[in-house]
Homo-oligomer: A and B are copies of this chain.
Amino acid sequence: MSITQAQAEAAIIAARQAAVSIGVPMNIAVYDDGANLKAFERMDGALLGSLDIAMNKARTAALFGFNTEALYDFSKPGGTSPGFEQSNGGLTVFAGGIPVRDHDGRLLGAVGISGGAVTQDFEVAEAAAAAARAA
């Protein structure tokens, strides 16, 4: 099972609404369980440099099935896996990438958001992931 078009569209719409409600235009990415792009939108005014970050957050969360910020524990100074974040062509290990699972816990894909402060990215990503799950 992989994330569907309907779930991806629900994630994009929910992220867009959450971004508007906090007044921060965002880059919104959805990846499937094979770590391939499923859907994307760069809102008007969203930071161009955050395009790559949003995509890589979604890819990272899809590759490992964890929130991106959780992966920092592996690679941080004193962590178990120094240089972990350089695997897979370079991972993003701060908040804004969240996996999407089905009701049985199977990984379907992930969303990635970038364009604001990390806490804002995370908040919008939560809205997107919740909408994908519910769709």
Residues of A within 8 A of B (CB): 1-2, 4-5, 8-9, 32-44, 47-53, 56, 60, 62-65, 72, 75-77, 80-94, 117-118
Contact = CB atoms under 8 A, between A and B. Distances in A.
Copies of this chain assembled into the complex: 4
Nearest to A41: B39
Nearest to A86: B90
A5 B94 contact: no
Contact of A82 (B9, B33, B72, B89): B72
Given A49-B64, A86-B90, 13 more contacts: A33-B34, A35-B36, A38-B41, A39-B42, A47-B65, A49-B87, A52-B89, A53-B84, A53-B87, A76-B82, A81-B94, A82-B93, A85-B86
Majority secondary structure, A binding face:
mixed
9 contacts: A2-B34, A5-B44, A34-B34, A36-B42, A36-B48, A37-B51, A53-B84, A77-B77, A80-B117
A1 B34 CA distance: 11
B82 A94 contact: yes
Contacts of A1: 1
Contacts of A44: 4-5
A39 B36 contact: no
B63 A34 contact: no
